Amino acid sequence: MLGIEFKGKNVKDAIDAGLAELGCNKEDAVIRIVNEGSTGLFGLVGAKPAIVLISVEKSKCNIKTTVNTQVDQNKACKKAKLFLSELLNKINVKISRIETSFKDDI
């Protein structure tokens, strides 16, 4: 089952954005509200987005962001390499190369 977090100004916007990006119907998805968000003080200070987790079977969705997903995977691998490199450097462990790969079938 594919589960992705989506954000929006409110819960409805987050759900609508998630369903549109996943290309599935509300009936096919399991939606969990992570954070209802808040408008903050007068809608200006301290506003927080609503966050929902939408889970759906891969066979029931038509993901429209395959290019963005690949870019996100590359970013995640680069961040992991940078983090690991800095961590090992701080504890004086010498490395010659770090290789990363991305596995999405969790």
**How is 4-28 classified by DSSP, letter by letter?**
EEEEESSHHHHHHHHHHHHT--GGG
d(CA 1, CA 44): 37
Threshold 0.85, pTM exceeds: no
Specify the amino acid at residue 20. Answer: A
pLDDT in tens, 17-61: 888 888 888 888 899 999 998 877 766 677 888 999 998 876 667
Shared-domain flag, residues 23 and 44? yes
Domain holding 102, by residue range, is 65-106
Shared-domain flag, residues 53 and 74? no
Shared-domain flag, residues 50 and 94? no
Q: 34 and 49 in contact (C-beta within 8 Å)?
A: no
Shared-domain flag, residues 26 and 73? no
Shared-domain flag, residues 30 and 72? no
